[in-house]
């Protein structure tokens, strides 16, 4: 994987609020309010016409078509009529292009935001949850669609970056194959999916021709939450954490599979001196050559966690990650059949119980099932993790598979996260899982074959 070193250029002038492109006059706004300002601090305003702005205050009602501008110290939080939340951070220009919420039939709702400059966070409400195909956030370069999501976007003239804190997004370059006038995610070969399982990495887009690239965690110095940190008044994420900027880290290697991957320091630095590898790890020889691989972070396998760069095979790319594992698959477009139902069997796996002191106890996986309905792009999976001395733990999940072959888990057992992908020709599958239990975190990686 190539290294990603990007220099953030502060190309916003302090006079951003005074700068105005074409804006709708106040009389052109829809008559019904679509949101209310719940918090404001610093410089924040909304254009009245091409020459004048009106200061935004807490309690102000906002309409579709309205533009919000923030200065170098400005933050605006908006509570939308369906319970959604929007945060507009400093030096930003954000437009509520359309917001139609049908309370009787939420699936008929339509939402479109435009972030012309700066940083914004969006947490979907009832409309977005019920009508994911009719939600869109555009930047000058990218179209962003959702799957029930909490995400943060930063955009400048020549770059857009997005990080996911809950759920998943689809990011696609705006061009003749993905129009800014459309709604929902664009489904073409340049679209890329980012899930909360990879929340400390981000997608970056620098032109309208190429697909967004995944910037791994160790290179995430330009993550939106680092470029423009949140205020403490912003809501906590689904996982109960403030949306604070992540720290950065280096990489690790799976000693069994000889694959290196990248992760975030805040997730693993506490493991460096406490993780104890199992005395006799279970190693299952692959039935067929692997097309899905995983690695363990360096501290987990006893490494130093120092400065070496990842040395991924050129034909592999990172797809998913959690606190112990990172998963990879073959590079290139994934072919996902449009018909048929396939039952997969487990080829190899690795699982642990992570205790409160971060020590790992090896587990054994049994009672496995993975069924993929290619025609409807759905999957259903279950397995049981057995750790000596503890009650067996069930992992169950079901949900969608994107056109790129990425698992989109929507139904799971409590406190469970499942994220994975298909191989390039969809004859193999792999996913990472974790479940919080009273005894600690059950966590693992799996590879499946037909």
User: CA 223 → CA 166, 174, 202, 220, distances in Å?
Assistant: 16, 21, 7, 5
Question: What's the rounded Cα separation, in Å, for the pair 423 and 405?
Answer: 8
CATH class of the domain comprising 16-227: mainly beta
User: What three-state secondary structure class fits 299?
Assistant: helix
208: burial class by Cβ within 10 Å (0-12, 13-18, 19+)? middle
Residue that the structure tokens 């021709």 belong to: 209
For residue 419, the model assigns a pLDDT of 87
* Helix ranges restricted to H, 328-395: none
The residues, any chain, with a CB within 8 Å of residue 71's CB and separated by 6 or more, are 14, 16, 17, 42, 43, 44, 90, 91
Q: Enumerate long-range contacts of 66-69, CB under 8 Å, 24 or more apart.
A: 66/24, 66/29, 66/95, 66/96, 67/23, 67/24, 67/93, 67/94, 67/95, 67/96, 68/44, 68/92, 68/93, 68/94, 68/95, 68/96, 69/16, 69/17, 69/44, 69/45, 69/93, 69/94
Domain 16-227 shares a fold with domain 251-449: no
Place of tokens 């002038």: 13
- Each residue's pLDDT expressed in tens, for the chain with a length of 450 residues: 333 223 323 333 333 333 333 333 333 344 589 999 999 999 999 998 878 899 999 999 999 999 999 999 999 999 999 999 999 999 999 999 999 999 999 999 999 999 999 999 999 999 998 998 899 999 999 999 997 789 999 999 899 999 998 888 989 999 999 999 999 988 777 888 888 777 678 999 999 998 898 887 666 788 999 999 999 999 987 544 444 433 323 333 333 333 333 333 333 333 334 444 444 444 444 457 889 988 876 655 543 333 223 335 677 877 877 778 878 888 888 889 999 999 999 999 999 998 888 888 999 999 999 999 999 999 999 999 999 999 999 999 998 888 888 887 777 788 888 989 999 999 999 999 989 899 999 999 999 999
User: What is the model's pLDDT at position 257?
Assistant: 34
Q: Give φ, ψ of 144 to 5 degrees.
A: -125, 120
Domain residue ranges in the chain: 16-227, 251-449
Please give the CATH topology (third level) of the domain spanning 251-449: Porin (2.40.160)
In angstroms, the CA 418 to CA 261 distance is 18
Q: Are 84 and 115 spatial neighbours (Cβ–Cβ below 8 Å)?
A: no
- Report if pTM > 0.75: no
Alpha-carbon separation of residue 276 from 183, 301, 361, 363 (angstroms): 49, 8, 8, 14
């Amino acid at each position: 994987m190539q290294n990603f070193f990007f220099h953030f250029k502060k190309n916003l002038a302090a006079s951003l609020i005074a700068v105005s492109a074409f804006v709708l006059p106040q009389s052109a706004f829809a008559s019904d309010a679509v949101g209310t300002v719940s918090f404001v601090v610093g410089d924040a305003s909304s254009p009245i016409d091409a020459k004048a702005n009106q200061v935004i205050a807490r309690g102000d009602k906002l309409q579709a078509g309205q533009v919000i501008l923030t200065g170098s110290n400005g933050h605006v939080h908006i509570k939308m009529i369906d319970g959604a939340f929007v945060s507009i951070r400093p030096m930003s220009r954000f437009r509520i292009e359309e917001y139609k919420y049908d309370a009787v039939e939420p699936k008929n709702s339509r939402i479109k935001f435009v972030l012309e400059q700066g940083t914004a966070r969006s947490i979907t409400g009832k409309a977005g949850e019920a009508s994911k195909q009719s939600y869109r956030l555009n930047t000058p370069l990218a179209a962003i669609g959702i799957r029930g999501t909490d995400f943060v976007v930063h955009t400048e003239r020549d770059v857009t970056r997005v990080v996911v804190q809950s759920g998943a997004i689809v990011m696609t370059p705006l061009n003749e194959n993905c129009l800014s006038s459309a709604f929902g995610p664009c489904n073409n070969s340049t679209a890329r999916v980012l899930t909360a399982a990879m929340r400390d990495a981000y997608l970056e887009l620098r032109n309208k021709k190429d697909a967004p690239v995944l910037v791994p965690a160790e290179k995430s110095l330009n993550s939106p939450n680092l470029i423009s940190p949140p205020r403490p008044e912003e809501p906590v994420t689904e996982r109960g954490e403030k949306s604070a900027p992540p720290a950065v880290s280096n990489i690790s290697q799976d000693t069994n599979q000889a694959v290196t991957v990248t992760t975030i320091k805040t997730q693993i630095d506490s493991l460096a001196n406490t993780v104890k590898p199992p005395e006799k790890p279970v190693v299952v020889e692959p039935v067929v050559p692997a097309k899905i691989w995983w690695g363990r972070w360096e501290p987990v396998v006893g490494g130093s966690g120092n400065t070496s760069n990842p040395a991924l095979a050129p034909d592999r790319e990172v797809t998913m990650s959690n606190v112990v594992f990172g998963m990879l698959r073959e590079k290139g477009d994934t072919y996902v059949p449009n018909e048929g139902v396939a039952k997969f069997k487990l080829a190899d796996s690795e699982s642990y119980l992570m205790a409160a002191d971060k020590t790992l106890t090896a587990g054994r996986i049994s009672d496995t099932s993975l069924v993929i309905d290619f025609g409807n792009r759905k999957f259903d999976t279950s397995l049981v993790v057995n750790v000596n001395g503890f009650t067996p733990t069930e992992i169950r999940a079901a949900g969608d598979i994107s056109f790129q072959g990425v698992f989109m888990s929507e139904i799971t057992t409590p406190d469970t996260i499942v994220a994975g992908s298909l191989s390039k020709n969809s004859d193999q599958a792999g996913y990472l899982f974790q479940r919080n239990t009273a005894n600690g975190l059950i966590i693992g990686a799996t590879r499946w074959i037909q």
